[in-house]
């Protein structure tokens, strides 16, 4: 198995990233910002930690620490003036416990005063930065359309992300994402072949139905309601169907073989590790079948270092990912009301990358478009076809 996407990671190490600059980031992403009112949202397991910024004394809140240090103080100490903006306050809501679950309405300010996101925050701000433990892209996108604000979700921010994925020129990121989008758009299908370290091979076929490819490119400009997911840099599709099988590495390291029929995972089987992890997944699939629906196929477009957080690592060129669950924020039709239980209505990315899944390899990912089959990835390396598209 490849231990690292060698050429991409070597290029990332050699690349000179700019130092994180909040004003440059927000100017690039949201331009123009003149006259806009900005706020920051964080999530906390206990809202009492917001009062008097008590969370800053808790070493288990590194993401919230960075929200305060790099974003709140960055705005208050000259950033707002440089942007021609106002605000900069932090508001906290209770952690949802899962990726892209519905956001609670109750929130508090840093004095502990209770407020309503829908009455006091969304309608009164133009730009909302959500720096959280769990992704809030799907629900925040829905609220942006309802209340007319723009925003960015930056869940899981760590120091590597600050100094690489958030320290890039998003004009270039957007340009490269568009080049790769054009190279893949309106594909008939994508197939991905996997090789397990035991020698077993699996393959999944994803029907894309000639749809227009979409991109996460980081720019959220103009007055139209929109939410960027940062770091950005991917081309993605909402599969119209899927058949086959693929491997999944569970949180405890267990490796499972997932069978997909009709665009949905129907069962998991143990390859290596703990049968209990497989049994738990199968119980969830049986109880709420929508949790197994494949709602996204994505390809990374950036040269970035591995951060240890999927939000950046899925944006690395040479990786790809699938996602299960809700996909309405991507233009799909899987909404929270279609799940048996709303707490199951997550959007969970499944990243295939050598640092995360060293016990299996992407032997090849290929697409059919315009009557031709073209290789996209081999052994976690972008094909010459993609590299040529970036040079165009």
pLDDT tens digits along 307-357: 999 999 999 999 999 999 999 999 999 999 999 999 999 999 999 999 999
**Last residue of one domain, picked from the residues 162, 196, 214:** 162
**284-301 tens-digit pLDDT:** 999 999 999 999 999 999
Residue at 316 is within a domain:
yes
Let me know whether 198 and 296 are in one domain. yes
Residue at 213 is within a domain:
yes
Residue at 15 is within a domain:
no
Let me know whether 131 and 195 are in one domain. no
Radius of gyration over every alpha carbon of the chain, rounded to an integer in angstroms = 21
Let me know whether 241 and 381 are in one domain. yes
Could you tell me the two tokens for 188?
């008939």
Judge contact between 64 and 44, C-beta under 8 A.
yes
**Last residue of one domain, picked from the residues 127, 144, 162:** 162
Domain count across the chain: 2
- Distance from the first to the final alpha carbon of the chain: 32
Could you tell me the two tokens for 97?
């416990």
* Average pLDDT of the chain to the nearest whole number: 95
Could you tell me the two tokens for 301?
């477009």
Residue at 4 is within a domain:
no
Judge contact between 100 and 325, C-beta under 8 A.
yes
Query: What span, in angstroms and rounded, lies between the C-alpha atoms of 14 and 19?
Result: 15
**Last residue of one domain, picked from the residues 146, 162, 178:** 162
Q: What's the full length of the chain, in residues?
A: 392
Let me know whether 193 and 133 are in one domain. no
Let me know whether 158 and 174 are in one domain. no
Let me know whether 150 and 182 are in one domain. no
Residue at 330 is within a domain:
yes
Judge contact between 227 and 219, C-beta under 8 A.
no
Q: Quick check: 1 pLDDT over 50?
A: no
Q: What pTM, to 2 d.p., does this model score?
A: 0.94
The single residue listed with the structure tokens 């899925």 is: 314
Which range of residues forms the domain containing residue 177? 170-391
Which range has the worst mean pLDDT, 18-32, 242-256, 368-382? 18-32
Let me know whether 102 and 185 are in one domain. no
Let me know whether 204 and 255 are in one domain. yes
Let me know whether 247 and 293 are in one domain. yes
Let me know whether 202 and 318 are in one domain. yes
Give the three-class secondary structure for 141.
Answer: helix
Let me know whether 139 and 185 are in one domain. no
Let me know whether 201 and 340 are in one domain. yes
């Amino acid at each position: 198995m490849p231990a690292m996407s060698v050429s991409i990671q070597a290029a990332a190490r050699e690349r000179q990233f700019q130092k994180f600059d909040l004003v440059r980031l927000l100017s690039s992403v949201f331009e123009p910002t003149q006259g806009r009112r900005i706020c920051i949202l964080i999530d906390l397991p206990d809202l009492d930690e917001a009062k008097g910024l008590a969370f800053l004394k808790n070493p288990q809140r590194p993401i919230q620490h960075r929200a305060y240090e790099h974003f709140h103080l960055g705005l208050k100490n000259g950033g707002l003036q440089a942007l021609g903006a106002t605000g900069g306050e932090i508001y906290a809501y209770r952690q949802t416990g899962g990726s892209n679950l519905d956001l609670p309405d109750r929130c508090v300010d840093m004095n502990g005063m209770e407020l309503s996101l829908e009455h006091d925050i969304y309608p009164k701000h133009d730009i909302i930065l959500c720096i959280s433990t769990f992704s809030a892209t799907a629900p925040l996108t829905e609220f942006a359309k309802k209340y007319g604000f723009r925003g960015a979700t930056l869940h899981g921010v760590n120091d590597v992300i600050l100094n690489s994925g958030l320290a890039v020129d998003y004009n270039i990121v957007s340009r490269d994402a568009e080049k790769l989008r054009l190279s893949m758009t309106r594909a008939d299908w994508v197939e991905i072949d996997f090789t397990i370290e035991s020698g077993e091979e699996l393959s999944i076929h994803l029907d894309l139905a000639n749809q227009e490819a979409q991109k996460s490119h980081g720019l959220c400009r103009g007055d139209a309601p929109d939410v960027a997911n940062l770091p950005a840099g991917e081309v993605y599709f909402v599969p119209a169907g899927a058949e086959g099988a693929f491997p999944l590495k569970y949180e405890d390291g267990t490796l499972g073989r997932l069978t997909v029929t009709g665009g949905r995972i129907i069962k998991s089987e143990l390859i290596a590790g703990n049968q209990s992890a497989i049994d738990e997944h199968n119980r969830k699939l049986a109880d709420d079948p929508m949790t197994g629906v494949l709602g996204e196929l994505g390809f990374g477009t950036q040269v970035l270092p591995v951060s240890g957080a999927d939000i950046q690592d899925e944006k690395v060129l040479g990786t790809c990912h699938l996602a299960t669950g809700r996909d309405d924020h991507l233009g799909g039709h899987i909404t929270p009301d279609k799940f048996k239980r709303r707490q199951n209505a997550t959007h969970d990315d499944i990243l295939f990358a050598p640092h995360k899944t060293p016990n299996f390899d992407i032997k090849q990912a290929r697409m059919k478009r315009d009557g031709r089959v073209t290789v996209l990835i081999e052994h976690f390396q972008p094909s010459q076809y993609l590299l040529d598209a970036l040079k165009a």
